[in-house]
Amino acid sequence: MPQTQSASHEHATGQLAPVGVGLLGCGTVGLGVAKLLLSHADDYQHRIGRPLRLRRVAVRDASKARGLDPAHFTLNPEEVVSDPETHIVVEVMGGVEPARTLILQAIAHGKHVVTANKEVIARHGEEIFSAARAQGVAVFIEGTVGGGIPIIMPIKASLAGNRITQIAGIVNGTTNYILTAMTQKGEGLDTALAEAQRLGYAEANPAADVEAYDATFKMAILASTIFSHRVRVEDVYREGITHLTAADIRYARELGYVIKLLGVARHTDGQMQVRVHPAFVPKSHPLAHVNGVSNAIAVQGDAVGEVMFQGPGAGQFPTASAVMGDVLNIASDLQHANRLMGCLHTGHAAVGSIDDLFTQFYVRLLAKDEPGVIAALGNAFARHGISILSLVQKGEQDGLAEIVLVTHTARERAMRQALADLADHPTIQSIASVIRVEGLTA
Ligand SMILES: NC(=O)c1ccc[n+]([C@@H]2O[C@H](COP(=O)([O-])OP(=O)(O)OC[C@H]3O[C@@H](n4cnc5c(N)ncnc54)[C@H](OP(=O)(O)O)[C@@H]3O)[C@@H](O)[C@H]2O)c1
């Protein structure tokens, strides 16, 4: 890192100079970080042996009341990334641009970077980490996944003695709030979503959450963290929650499951798989009991077994807690890059197609209430090598029978072919739902 004025001050006085922290953004997370920096200054100084100083803070609107000394604010983010007294730049503005360019500029100026921006890391991690490695600076990203839950550092450092075979988690609080309301109150998706919006858990445009884009960014980051290769966002299979109905939630309960939007990254027998989709989770698994806006991530290591991290997946101070942890980790040893926390990837992961997934399936369909339907079902599945674990006719409506079945483990490609055959069968009116049943073992 180029020598700063503070380094020469250190040399002259023999005292450890302050570590300067600049902020790109001072919204929900940024303001939380600034407040922690000011309110916990003595504790932080005690922990790292030198003071942390809040330097320039870039915002779009300097007239907004934020309760900070206005002298910190600038409308020019380049002042943050080039400030000679700033050692660590915290990017919490969100979105891809100008965040990506500013992170790269900060790195070029020899600054360490901490970010909570999942989209910029998921999409441009390769460019950012390569630039950081070339410059010998750190890029820490704890706040990008799971809000306040420590997960990146535990995987990279505390669990470094393991081969991680699987991560399965609930990584989006908004959808977990919606699914919890549907499960516990029997609400439909629209009602639960409207309530989430009223409470500020869902945006007016909820697509990033309910179509699972947000969870996909997080799973690309987690998968890249556990695989020895980087995972492209486009290689993560994505399915949101918009097609789920109260009936599916009810049948899941009757069958001993809870429906969750699950992110899974699995690395077994040389196969890498990353996916986000609604899944039946057995009631006996701890993930089934993670409710409301909470997030939880279960990690399976070959030495440790399964460990689960649970907590607030978003929010001002939980996320600021993750960001400040990164800042303090870097500030405690500004001169030495921590190799464990660095990026050692050399290429992209060959992520397997969802077609090759082996899993169980729940299927709900409407069929004509007449003889031969069950035989037609059995034949269609048998033709593709799929056997049925349980099958129940749940009721009759307007001459149509609602049939719910769960298969034994089958290959996804075979399942799609069987469903296509069934859709063409004269006795089948419609295939209402198909949801994967997750065993949760790697
Ligand atoms: N909120 C959470 O609970 C949470 C949790 C985990 C991760 N994150 C991530 O953390 C990041 C920040 O989220 P947030 O909720 O804090 O966002 P936010 O409340 O919208 O704050 C964004 C901040 O960035 C500033 N900003 C945006 N564009 C700018 C530009 N071009 N130039 C200068 N300043 C700019 C805004 O300035 P003004 O205030 O002047 O408009 C605002 O202060 C995002 O990447 C998000 O995904 C958030």
Per-residue pLDDT tens digits for 291-307: 999 999 999 999 999 99
CA distance 261 to 170: 6
pLDDT in tens, 98-110: 999 999 999 999 9
Residue 98 C-alpha from the chain's centroid:
22
Q: Is the CB of 147 under 6 A from ligand 1?
A: yes
Average pLDDT, the chain: 93
CA distance 126 to 124: 5
pLDDT in tens, 117-155: 999 999 999 999 999 999 999 999 999 999 999 999 999
Phi, psi of 309 (to 5 degrees): -110, 130
Q: Is 19 helix (H, G, I), strand (E, B) or coil?
A: strand
100 alpha carbon to ligand 1 midpoint, in Å?
14
Residue nearest to atom 27 of ligand 1 (CA): 93
User: What residues act catalytically?
Assistant: 218
Q: Which residues contact 215 (CB under 8 A, 6 or more apart)?
A: 171, 172, 175, 209, 238, 261, 263, 276
pLDDT interval class at 3 (50, 70, 90): very low
Q: Is the CB of 79 under 6 A from ligand 1?
A: no
Query: What percent of the chain lies above the pLDDT cut of 90?
Result: 86
30 alpha carbon to ligand 1 midpoint, in Å?
7
Q: Which atom of ligand 1 is nearest to the CA of 144?
A: 7
- pTM (2 d.p.): 0.94
Residue-wise DSSP of 367-430: EESSTTHHHHHHHHHHHTT--EEEEEEEEEETTEEEEEEEE-SEEHHHHHHHHHHHHHSTTEEE
Query: What percent of the chain lies above the pLDDT cut of 70?
Result: 96
**What are the strands, taking DSSP E only, across 205-357?**
237-238, 257-268, 271-282, 294-301, 305-312
Residue 2 confidence (pLDDT): 41
41 alpha carbon to ligand 1 midpoint, in Å?
23
C-alpha distances (whole Å) from 75 to each of 60, 94, 100 are 6, 16, 17
Flag whether pLDDT at 250 surpasses 70.
yes
pLDDT in tens, 213-244: 999 999 999 999 999 899 999 999 999 999 99
Burial class (CB in 10 A: 0-12, 13-18, 19+), 3: exposed
pLDDT interval class at 371 (50, 70, 90): confident
The residues with which 434 forms a beta bridge, in sequence order, are 363
pLDDT in tens, 15-67: 689 999 999 999 999 999 999 999 999 999 999 999 999 999 999 999 999 99
Residue nearest to atom 39 of ligand 1 (CA): 27
Find the DSSP H helices in 146-282. 152-153, 173-185, 189-198, 207-210, 213-226, 246-255
Residue 1 confidence (pLDDT): 39
Q: Is the CB of 405 under 6 A from ligand 1?
A: no
From 26, 56, 57, 59, the mutation candidate for ligand 1 (largest count of ligand atoms within 8 A of CB) is 59
From 159, 411, 165, select the one nearest 271 (Cα to Cα).
Answer: 165
pLDDT interval class at 11 (50, 70, 90): low
Residue 264 C-alpha from the chain's centroid:
10
